[in-house]
Amino acid sequence: MLGKTAGGLFWMARLLERAENTSRMIETGQRIALTRAGSGADDWLSVLQAAAVAYGYQQKHAEVLPELAIDWMLRDPDNPSSVMAVITQARHNARLVRTALTHEAWEAVNSFWMLLKEALARKVATRDLPKVLSLIRERNALVRGAILGTMLRNEIYDFIRIGTFIERADNTARILDVKYYVLLPSAAAVGSRLDNVQWDTILRSVSGEGGYRLTIGPDVTPMGIAQFLILDKRMPRSLNFCCAKLRDNLNYLATDYDLRLPCHQQADTLCRRFMTHDVAAIFDYGLHEYVQEVLGHLGKLSHQIEIDYRFYG
């Protein structure tokens, strides 16, 4: 396979995942806004932060307003990480790697883009927002389904999965990074209503409310959330889960090519050093420092994959 193609698949998957994450963040923001009084400016700011688009927003707007924040995240042409921009880039990558995709997978991406373009042609009215968000979720699911159901389990598939899990791990780590302070023992001691909302926000932004109840139990605690989002092996958005999948998919490539490269070593290190502790040890070490290091490793790993598999010249 061409190095360029591997890169295109990797980025297509990352961008699709990113769009889904961003739309989930918007959903979370809406949810908070509905459950409390006040402007919600702080909540929207933290949503923007968790989606890693706050900086650009603040360059453009002085004030955080819900409808501006939503528009920014969905379709503002000045935001290169808006859902519209990201899906356009994902489709661009899909076109680039058209020959590596099945007909179904390509059509799913292409129709996603076409429908989104139509849905986001104008500013989305609040009452239409749920419809647009569910369109994004459904269309992403359709793409994932087409990939799962029609693609051979070969290197093409491996690169798609690697892109997906790197982006997802990055996303979860970022949410933890923005919100780590509400999980600190000092904050837990307060036990206020505000914290409950914050915790709820974290779980919702990874679609983890139900999963949490099933695996950890009915009581939402900082320790429990950290355990669930970082170390749980069944939670498909936990760092542990994503890193394990990353390592697995990289290993499939190593087996397939009969060649172990520096990125394999790095993925092993990531799993061994960061995913084998218990949650208490992580808190002892410092949650913030821990998450920062994980983010740094993910960035390095992504770069190493680019080099090892010759994405660029």
Partner 1 sequence: MKPHRDRLVATISIAQAPGQGKHDPMDMFDEMQGQNGQIRSPYAKFDAWLSEEDAARLRAKSREAEDLFRLTGITFNVYGRSEAEERLIPFDIIPRIISGREWQRLERGIEQRVRAINAFLHDIYHRQEILRAGRVPQEMIANNVAFLPQMIGMMPPGGVYTHITGIDLVRTGPDDFFVLEDNARTPSGVSYMLENRETMLRMFPELFSRNQVRPVSDYPRNLRRSLAASAPAACEGTPTVAVLTPGIYNSAYYEHAFLADKMGIELVEGHDLRIVDGRVAMRTTRGYQPIDVLYRRVDDDFLDPLNFNPESALGVPGIMDVYRAGGITIANAPGTGISDDKAIYSYMPEIVEFYTGERPILQNVPTWRCNEKESLDYVLAHLSELVVKEVHGSGGYGMLIGPAASKKELKEFERKLRARPGNYIAQPTLSLSTVPVFTKSGLAPRHVDLRPFVLMSPEGINVTPGGLTRVAMKKGSLVVNSSQGGGTKDTWVLED
Element at 64 (helix H, strand E): none
Of residues 107 and 195, the one with the C-beta less far from partner 1: 107
- Residues 141 to 160: which contact partner 1 by CB under 8 A? 155
Rounded to the nearest whole angstrom, what is the least distance from the CB of residue 90 to partner 1 in the complex? 13
Rounded to the nearest whole angstrom, what is the least distance from the CB of residue 77 to partner 1 in the complex? 12
Q: Residue 11, interface with partner 1 (CB under 8 A)?
A: no
Which of 64, 28, 270, 290 lies closest to 176 in space, CA to CA?
290
Rounded to the nearest whole angstrom, what is the least distance from the CB of residue 311 to partner 1 in the complex? 8
Q: Residue 257, interface with partner 1 (CB under 8 A)?
A: yes
Query: Distances in Å between the alpha carbon of 33 and those of 40, 43, 72, 88, 229?
Result: 6, 8, 17, 29, 24
Q: Which of 2, 125, 214, 280 binds partner 1 (CB under 8 A)?
A: 2
Q: Residue 92, interface with partner 1 (CB under 8 A)?
A: yes
The first and second tokens of residue 299, run together, are 């960035």
Q: Which of 41, 190, 259, 280 binds partner 1 (CB under 8 A)?
A: 259
- How many Å is the Cα radius of gyration of the chain? 19
Q: At 9, is the secondary structure helix, strand, or coil? A: helix
Q: Residue 1, interface with partner 1 (CB under 8 A)?
A: yes
Those residues with Cβ within 8 angstroms of residue 113's Cβ, 6 or more apart along the chain or in another chain: 87, 88, 90, 91
Of residues 219 and 258, the one with the C-beta less far from partner 1: 258
Q: Residue 10, interface with partner 1 (CB under 8 A)?
A: no
Is the torsion defined by CA of 236, 240, 242, 245 positive or negative? negative
Of residues 183 and 301, the one with the C-beta less far from partner 1: 301
Those residues with Cβ within 8 angstroms of residue 219's Cβ, 6 or more apart along the chain or in another chain: none
Q: Residue 6, interface with partner 1 (CB under 8 A)?
A: yes
Rounded to the nearest whole angstrom, what is the least distance from the CB of residue 106 to partner 1 in the complex? 7
In angstroms, how far is CA 298 from the centroid of its own chain? 13
Rounded to the nearest whole angstrom, what is the least distance from the CB of residue 168 to partner 1 in the complex? 22
Q: Report yes or no: 91 and 109 within 8 Å, Cβ to Cβ.
A: yes
Q: Which of 45, 68, 96, 184 binds partner 1 (CB under 8 A)?
A: 96
Amino acid at 77: P
Question: What 8-state DSSP symbol labels residue 237?
Answer: T
* Alpha-carbon gap, residue 256 to 144, rounded angstroms: 23
- Residues 12 to 51: which contact partner 1 by CB under 8 A? none
Per-residue interface string for the shown chain with partner 1, residues 97-116, x marking contact by CB under 8 A: -xx---x--xx--xx--x--
* Alpha-carbon gap, residue 303 to 313, rounded angstroms: 14
* Alpha-carbon gap, residue 208 to 290, rounded angstroms: 21
Rounded to the nearest whole angstrom, what is the least distance from the CB of residue 146 to partner 1 in the complex? 12
Residues within the interface to partner 1 (CB under 8 A): 1-6, 88, 92, 95-96, 98-99, 103, 106-107, 110-111, 114, 155, 257, 259, 309-310, 313
